[in-house]
Structure 1
Amino acid sequence: MLQQTVGEVVRERAALHPGTEAYVYPEYGIRKTYKEFDEETDRLAKAFIGIGIEKGEHVAIWSDNKREWLLSQFATGKMGGVLVTVNTSYQSSELEYLLKQSDSTTLILGEEFKGSNYIDIINTVCPELKNSQKGRVQSAELPKFKRVIVMSENQYPGIFTWSEFEAFANDVSDEQLEDRFQSMDPDDVINIQYTSGTTGFPKGVMLTHLNVVNNGKLVGDTMNLTEQDRLCIPVPFFHCFGCVLGTMAAVTHSTTMVIAEQFEPKRVLQMVQDEKCTGLHGVPTMFIAELNHPDFASFDTSTLRTGIMAGSPCPIEVMKKVISDMGATEITIAYGQTESSPVITQTRADDDIEKRVSTVGKPHAEVEVKIIDPATGETVPAGVPGELCTRGYHIMKGYYQNEEATKNAIDPEGWLHTGDIAVEDEDGYIAITGRIKDMVIRGGENIYPREIEEFLYSHSAIQDVQVVGVPDPKYGEELMAWIILKEGESLDAEELRDYCMGKISRHKIPRYFEFTKEYPMTASGKIQKFKLRELSVELTQKSEV
C-alpha cells in the first residue's frame, strides 16, 4: 500500500521520469513532460492557496476533460483542497443541490457543454453573482459560496478568468506551499464524487488520498502500465473512471495521458493512431461506437495492447472484437462503484478470453470480497448468486453529511454492500449478474436480464440490447427487450422470438420487443435502466388499453 498523498505521487514521478510526456491534448497540440506537469501543478497549488482556499475546503469543478480540470485535480492534491466533481450534464436545480449539499466555497467551470451554457446556469443558481466583487459572493441560498473561476479569458461579472486566478500564485512563497504540502495526511479526504442519483438525491462519496492513489496504482499494476505506455482517456474526469482508472492509474506509473475533451468515436480512433496509444479506456457503448464507425477500418490501432472496459456489463461479442479488430489483446474488465474508489475486481492481462468475457475478474490485492444471501446475510457457496460485499483500504470515508445513508451502505464490520448480484466460480473469478433491483421475478422464477442480453447479442443483426422487467397481472413480471440494430439490418419481434425458441428456456424469452436508435444515458455513458423501465411500463400499458 502506498502511504502517499496525490501530490507526493506527482513529485516522485517527476523525479523518476522527468522527460517522459505526462499528458498530451492532441486537439490543441499541447504536450507536457512529468517535470513540467509537476511545475504546473505546484504553481496552481499556490494559486489555490493565494486565492484563499484553506486545507479541507471544498472546490467544485464543472467541465468536460479540459486541461484546467486535470491540473486542478493534482494541484488540490498538493495543497489540501477537496475537489468536488460535478456531472457535466447537470442543470440548475442539480447544480444548486450539489453546491449547497457539499458546502462548496468555490466553483471552477467551463463556459458550456453540449448546448448547456454554464455561465447562464450559475447566474440562475446564484443571482447575486452578477453584482458581486470577484471572490466575494454573498448568496442567500448558498451561505458558504464565495467565488467562481472560469476556464477561459472571457470576462463575466463576478467571475475570475483563468489567468486572474493563476496570478494569485505570485503572492505565495515556496515555503508556504511546502508547509501546506507537508501538513497533509494520506487519510485526508481529497475528493467528493456525487453518485448518479438513480434513486433519490445524489450522495457525496468522500474519498481519501489513500483510496484514490492505491486504487489507481492497483488498476495500473493489473494493466502492466509503465512509463512506456500511452493511455487514451476519452471517459469523463468527473467520474471515477476518468480521474482514478484514467489519470491516477497513469500518473502512479509515469504513463502518458492522451486526453480527449469529449468522446467522439472518430476523434478517439485518430488519437490512438496518431499518438500510438497502447491503452484505451471506455464504457461498452464507446467501444461499440468505435468498432461500428464507418471509417473504423481506415485507422491503425495496432499499437493498442491494453485498456479498461467498465461502467456497465460488457457484451461478449464486443470484447472479442476489441481484441481481434482493435488489437487490444490485454484489454481488461474492471468492476466497482464510486463508494469503493472505485475498483473492486479486475480481469488480468493473461486471463483467457472466456474469463475476460464472462467474469469481472478477481478482487484486487488488499481487497476482501464475500457474496451473501441478501435475506439472511449468510455467505453463500461458490456458484450460488448473492449480494457482493467488499471491505478494505478502498472503502469510502462515508457520504458527506449523510450518516444514515453511510450506515445503510457500510455495515458495523466495515463491509460495503454493493447492491449487485454476483456469483463466484471455483477459481475465485466473479461474475456480476445484475442489480438486486434489476432482477425480474416471473411466475416465481428469478431471471437475470444480463443472461438474456448476452444470448440476444449473439444475433448477427443486433448491435446492442437491454432487457428490463415490466409488471404483469398473471406472472407478476414479464420481460421487455430494447434492441438497437446494426446499420442496414432489419428484424421484427416475431423473428426474434423464433430465434430464441429452443435455445433459451421459454420463460426467459421476452414477451415484448422494442426497437430503438438509442438508450437514455447518464453523462458518464451508463445506460439508465430505470428510465428504460419507466418507458417500458408506459408502452406496455398503452398496448393493453
Structure 2
Amino acid sequence: MSTRTPLSIEGVVPWPDEVAEQYRKAGYWQGTSIGSRIAGQVERRPDDEALVDGSTRLTYRQLWDKSASCAQYLLDLSIAPGDRIVLQLPNSWEFVALTLACFRTGIVPVMALPAHRRHELTHLASLSEATAIVVADTDRDTDLRRIAQQVAAEVPSIRTVLVHGELSNDATPHAPERALAAGMDTPGRFTDAEYEPTGADVACLLLSGGTTGLPKLIVRTHDDYVYNVLRCNDVTEFDSDTVYLGTLPSSHNFPLACPGILGALFAGGRTVMLPSPAPERALRTIDAEGVTVATVVPAVAQTWIEHQREHHTMTGTTLRVLQVGGSRMPDELAARVEPVLGARLQQVFGMAEGLINMTRLDDDPEVITNTQGRPVSEADEIAVVDEIGEPVPDGTPGALLTRGPYTPRGYFRAPEHNAKAFTPDGWYASGDIVVRRADGNLVVAGRDKDMINRGGEKISAEEVENFAYQIDGVEMAAAVAMPDPRLGEKLCLYLSLTEGHDVTLDDVVAIMNEAGVARFKLPERLVIVDQMPTTKVGKIDKKAMREDIRQRLAREDTAS
C-alpha cells in the first residue's frame, strides 16, 4: 500500500471527504492500487499463464516484467505520473502490458476506441491535455500514424507518438515517433515502490457511451476501480480456473473490468485476446483454449447463436458463462443462449460511470431471461423517479438515479454537464428508463430519449422491439420516434431481416394485437434496412434513425 500523497489533477471531481471516509471504514475502499492486486498473483503463480494472444503466451511473471519494462520506457520518455496518454490499441497483449504499466506508474490512460479517428482523438487529447498518444500503425486501410501526427499538430501538449507496429516514413513529424515494441524488452530498472499510486489516485479515464456529442471522460480511481472489479468477480465467480475470452474492444469498461481482463488477473485466471468477435474464430477459440467465460453485446450473441446452430463450430462444453451487456438483450434472444451455446446467460446492465447490475448465476431462468439483474454491491444506491424527481412504485417505469463507492461524482473537466447529470448530493442521472421489480431486479425499458411520447402516452421502444424479435426473419429491430404534427411523436419501427425473409407492418401489428397490447403502442410505420446504423462504440444509432425518418417524411411532404 502506497503511503505517498495522492496526485492532484485539475478537473477531477472528488468524493466528499465524509463519504470517502465512510467507504474506507466500511472496507469498500482499501487504499490499494490495481497493480498491487495483480502483483499478489504474480508472487503466487509466476509460471501460470496469464495472457494468450495468438501465438504469444505470457505467464504472470512474463507479463509483469514486460509491463515493468514498458513503465520504465514511458518514464524515460518524460511521461510522468499524473500525465495523461491517449491509448488506442487493438486487443493484444501489448494493450494489457501498456495498461498495467500505466496503472503501476500513475500515468493515466485515456481509453480511446479502435474506431476513433482524428475528430474524436483530437477531442480526447485536447480535453485531457495528453502528453502522448499510442496508436497501431494501421487499421485496415487507415494509416493511424498519420492521424496521430494530425492530432499532435492540433494539440500542443502531445510530445510523443508511440506506435504499435511499423514506424512511418514521415520526415517532418509534429511529435517524435517511438516504437512501442522497443519498450517491452529492455532490462528491468523499474521499481514499484517508487511509483505505486495511492488508492485515491486516478487510475484511468474511460469514455461516456452516449450517442450525442463527443465522449465525456469518466474518472476512475484505484480505490473505486479495484472495488468495481472485486464485486464483479464475486458475482461472476471468477477464480484461478477462469479462462476469459476478450473479443470486445478492451478499452471498454465492460471487457476491461466487469470483471473482464482485470478480473481474470485479480483472480489468477487466464485471458485470451481476440481482435474481433467474429463467430467462427471465436467459437473455435473457445474450444481450443477451454474458455469458461466470454463477454459480448446482444448483436454478437445473436451471430454466435446463429453460427452455432448452422455450423456446430463449438463442440466442447467448457463455456460456463456468457455475459451479455452494452444494450438491452431482447427476451426472445436471451432464451436461446443456454439451449444453443450451452452456457449460463448472465445479463449485465451498467455504465462506465459506475453502477453495474448483473443477474446471478443461480437465479431462476425467468430472472435471467427477463431482467438485467440487480446491483453487484450492497452499497449501490438506486432511485427510480418520475419526471419531477419523485420516486415511482416498483413495477413502474422511471428514470434511474444512482450513487455508490464506484460511481464517480462528476465527469472530467465538464462542469456544465456535471450540473445536469449529477445532483448536489451525488446522485448520477444515467439517462436510463428502468422498471424495478419487487425482487430488486431491474428491467431496462430504454433511454430517456428512447421513450416515444405519443400525445402524452409513453411507449417503451424496448417493449415494441421485443415483439418484433418474435417474428421469424427479424435480425435486428429498433423503434424510434418520428415527428407528427398532431400528436408530437408517432412510433416508427426499423428492421433488418435475414436473407430470404419478408416482414410487413401488418405482421408486427398482428403479433402485438395477439398479445393484447394497447393500441397506442402499435408502430405506425415500418422501414426495412439492409443494416442498422451503429455508433462508434457499436450500439444501434437511434439518433441517426430519428434523423432518417425525419428526412423521409420531409421528402414525402415535398412530393405531395
Aligned residue for 2:97? Answer: 71
What's the secondary structure of 1:292's corresponding residue? helix
Aligned residue for 1:93? Answer: 119
- Give, as a single letter, the amino acid of the residue that structure 2 aligns with 1:463: E
- Give, as a single letter, the amino acid of the residue that structure 2 aligns with 1:236: P
Distance 1:375 1:492 in 2: 35
Is residue 159 from structure 1 mapped to residue 170 from structure 2 by the alignment? no
- Describe the shift of the 1:502–1:321 C-alpha distance in structure 2 as closer, same or farther (beyond 3 A): closer
Contact 2:67 2:184 in 1 (8 A): no
Aligned residue for 2:19? Answer: none
Shift >6 Å, 4+ stretches = none
Contact 1:312 1:526 in 2 (8 A): yes
Aligned residue for 1:130? Answer: none
Distance 2:45 2:150 in 1: 46
Aligned residue for 1:15? Answer: 43
Identical columns (%): 27
Where do residues 97-116 of structure 1 align in structure 2 (5 Å cutoff)? 97-116=123-142
| Aligned residue among 324, 328, 334 for 1:309 | 324
Distance 1:379 1:511 in 2: 32
What's the secondary structure of 2:549's corresponding residue? helix
Deviation at 1:2, TM superposition (A): 5.6
What's the secondary structure of 2:178's corresponding residue? coil
- Give, as a single letter, the amino acid of the residue that structure 2 aligns with 1:385: P
Is residue 386 from structure 1 mapped to residue 398 from structure 2 by the alignment? yes
Deviation at 1:438, TM superposition (A): 1.2
Where do residues 137-536 of structure 1 align in structure 2 (5 Å cutoff)? 141-157=154-170, 158-166=176-184, 170=187, 173-175=189-191, 177-181=192-196, 184-245=197-258, 246-293=260-307, 296-329=311-344, 331-340=345-354, 343-396=355-408, 398-503=410-515, 504-536=517-549
Distance 2:291 2:486 in 1: 54
Aligned residue for 1:6? Answer: 34
Contact 2:284 2:313 in 1 (8 A): no
- 1:22-46 CA deviation, whole Å, 9 max, x = no partner? 1111xx3111122222222222222
Unaligned runs of 5+ in 2: 1-27, 171-175
Give the total of aligned pairs: 522
Is residue 125 from structure 1 mapped to residue 139 from structure 2 by the alignment? no
Contact 2:467 2:511 in 1 (8 A): no
- Describe the shift of the 1:99–1:366 C-alpha distance in structure 2 as closer, same or farther (beyond 3 A): same
- Describe the shift of the 1:313–1:20 C-alpha distance in structure 2 as closer, same or farther (beyond 3 A): same
Contact 1:371 1:423 in 2 (8 A): no
Contact 1:191 1:208 in 2 (8 A): yes
Distance 1:303 1:375 in 2: 46
Contact 2:167 2:178 in 1 (8 A): no
- 1:390-421 CA deviation, whole Å, 9 max, x = no partner? 11111125322222222322212121111111
What's the secondary structure of 1:447's corresponding residue? strand
The 10-residue stretch of structure 1 (157-166 or 452-461) with the greater mean CA deviation from structure 2: 157-166
Contact 1:366 1:392 in 2 (8 A): no
Deviation at 1:233, TM superposition (A): 0.9
- 1:311-348 CA deviation, whole Å, 9 max, x = no partner? 0000112212211100112x2111111211xx421110
- Describe the shift of the 1:59–1:95 C-alpha distance in structure 2 as closer, same or farther (beyond 3 A): same
Distance 2:405 2:180 in 1: 36
- 1:442-494 CA deviation, whole Å, 9 max, x = no partner? 12211111111111211222222111111112222111111122333222333
Contact 1:285 1:525 in 2 (8 A): no
Aligned residue for 1:537? Answer: 550
Deviation at 1:153, TM superposition (A): 4.2
TM-score by length of 1: 0.91
Contact 1:290 1:296 in 2 (8 A): no
Aligned residue for 1:134? Answer: none
Distance 1:296 1:541 in 2: 45
Contact 2:133 2:148 in 1 (8 A): no
Is residue 53 from structure 1 mapped to residue 79 from structure 2 by the alignment? yes
Distance 2:538 2:113 in 1: 11
Distance 2:35 2:119 in 1: 34
What's the secondary structure of 2:479's corresponding residue? strand
RMSD (Å) for aligned C-alpha atoms: 2.0
Contact 1:195 1:204 in 2 (8 A): yes
Distance 1:263 1:303 in 2: 18
Distance 1:126 1:39 in 2: 30
What's the secondary structure of 1:325's corresponding residue? helix
Deviation at 1:83, TM superposition (A): 0.5
- 1:123-154 CA deviation, whole Å, 9 max, x = no partner? 33335xxxxxxxxxxxxx32211101101244
Unaligned runs of 5+ in 1: 128-140
What's the secondary structure of 1:334's corresponding residue? strand
Distance 2:279 2:157 in 1: 40
- Give, as a single letter, the amino acid of the residue that structure 2 aligns with 1:475: L
- Give, as a single letter, the amino acid of the residue that structure 1 aligns with 2:193: E
The 10-residue stretch of structure 1 (41-50 or 495-504) with the greater mean CA deviation from structure 2: 495-504
Deviation at 1:78, TM superposition (A): 0.6
Deviation at 1:197, TM superposition (A): 4.9
Distance 1:486 1:218 in 2: 39
The 10-residue stretch of structure 1 (90-99 or 158-167) with the greater mean CA deviation from structure 2: 158-167
What's the secondary structure of 2:307's corresponding residue? coil
The 10-residue stretch of structure 1 (216-225 or 298-307) with the greater mean CA deviation from structure 2: 298-307
Distance 2:179 2:148 in 1: 15
Deviation at 1:201, TM superposition (A): 3.0
Distance 2:313 2:219 in 1: 44
The 10-residue stretch of structure 1 (193-202 or 11-20) with the greater mean CA deviation from structure 2: 193-202
Contact 1:213 1:248 in 2 (8 A): no
Deviation at 1:283, TM superposition (A): 0.3
- 1:267-317 CA deviation, whole Å, 9 max, x = no partner? 111111211111111000111111223754232252111131000000112
- Describe the shift of the 1:201–1:10 C-alpha distance in structure 2 as closer, same or farther (beyond 3 A): same
TM-score by length of 2: 0.89
- 1:137-195 CA deviation, whole Å, 9 max, x = no partner? xxxx322111011012445443111233447x55x7345x42112xx111111111222
Aligned residue for 2:15? Answer: none
The 10-residue stretch of structure 1 (289-298 or 420-429) with the greater mean CA deviation from structure 2: 289-298
What's the secondary structure of 1:437's corresponding residue? helix
